Amino acid sequence: MSQARPDVSVIMANYNGAPYLGDAVRSVLDQSLSSLELIIVDDASSDASLEAIEAAAAGDRRVRVCVQPVNVGPGAARNIALDQARGRWIAVFDSDDLMEPDRLRRLVTRADQDGAQIVADNLLVFSERGDRPAAPLLDDSRFTAPVWVDLADFIASSRMYARKPGPGYLKPLIAAGLLAQSGARYDERLRIGEDYDFMVKLLATGARLRFEPTCLYRYRKHDASISHLLRPDHIAAMLQADDAFAARTRTLTPAAQAALRRRRRSLVNALAYDRIIVQLKAGHVARALADALARPSVWPLLTLPLQARAGRAWRGVNTRLRPSRRAPRPAFP
């Protein structure tokens, strides 16, 4: 007799996440919504990831693990999990993060009440080092109440080096019916930006994302995070993916088209910025200056290293002035 269909399939791609996997797995299995399955695709890890999963799962039959013989990347790993998912809803979850015990129940309730095919909550970003206070990812006035996010909104808030992060970082809960209808899958060529590309494919069907302002997802920042390792080839791959999306999507509104153009300019500027920084580090000052003069739109980005250094210095001063204050820790584990 086949098992009943779970309400939620949580899909997790993992590569060498052993230090964090135990807490991540337990935060899923301890959900107040118990009708779930956790599908973990281990992407040829070389650490003790499998042992950490086995210890955390403790024989829980809701956990399924697929071990890849070679590393295929996060997009391909998530596609493998999507193909195995049986739930009414699909929840994307990273192997180094955490979720509040009632997260899935509250998101399913929000989606059912509001008639949403995609729903996502705010993230509470916390540093493993404890060198800064935990804080919501989306902290401006627009995101203090439930709000709908359409394709144009999503693209517009997903420019490179934007002043504030946008919904592209959120970890959505997606109706399985929408996935079946759209046929959307992750672009397996992308090592960074695959979540954004996946979401625009879904939103291009006319679906909208329903944003829940409560921080139910705990997003861990640490030195090994792949999102910190942006390289020129990553940016070039994102440009190619955006161009392919624009070419095959014939029903884009004028607002979405304008947002795509602005995002593309931001990616091109990011490539130019990276090239100038590499030249400066190599001592090719004249070449770097020529490139900077040829693209004035990149000038604001050249202040980023100074801003980052000033921010680190200011946090250091605060720490010395107020040694008794400690950054708030996540609510669990």
- 94 and 221 assigned to the same domain: yes
pLDDT digits (tens, 9 = 90+) for 145-168: 999 999 999 999 998 887 788 888
d(CA 128, CA 125): 10
Whether residues 102 and 242 share a domain: the answer is: no
Joined together, the tokens standing for residue 147 give: 């709000």
Residue 169 forms part of a structural domain: yes
Provide the domain count of the chain. Answer: 2
Which of 227, 242, 273 finishes a domain?
227
Res. 324: pLDDT tops 90: no
- Cβ–Cβ < 8 Å for 274, 282: no
pTM: 0.85
Q: Which of 79-88, 256-265, 289-298, 321-330 has the weakest average pLDDT? A: 321-330
- Has residue 203 got a pLDDT over 90? yes
Judge if 100 and 215 occupy the same domain: yes
Distance CA 63, CA 203 (A): 30
CB 264 within 8 A of CB 239: yes
Range with the poorest average pLDDT among 127-131, 148-152, 201-205, 260-264: 127-131
Q: Name the DSSP letter for residue 298.
A: G
In a domain, residue 328? The reply is no
3-state class (DSSP) for residue 182: helix
CA 115/CA 117 separation, integer angstroms:
7
Helix 285-294 and helix 254-281: axis angle, to 10°? 160
- What 3-state DSSP class applies to 194? helix
Instruction: Identify the CATH number of the domain in which residue 204 sits.
Output: 3.90.550.10
Amino acid at 72: V
Peptide bond into 333 cis (omega under 30): yes
Does residue 248 sit in the same domain as residue 309?
yes
Contact 71, 44 (CB under 8 A): yes
Its domain, for residue 260, covers: 232-321
Report the C-alpha gap between 321 and 325 in whole angstroms: 9
The string of pLDDT tens digits covering residues 4-28 is 899 999 999 999 999 999 999 999 9
Last residue of a domain, one of 195, 227, 259: 227
Tens of pLDDT, residue by residue over 185-195, are 999 999 889 99
Q: 71 and 43 in contact (C-beta within 8 Å)? A: yes
In this structure, are residues 41 and 14 in contact, taking their beta carbons and an 8 Å threshold?
yes
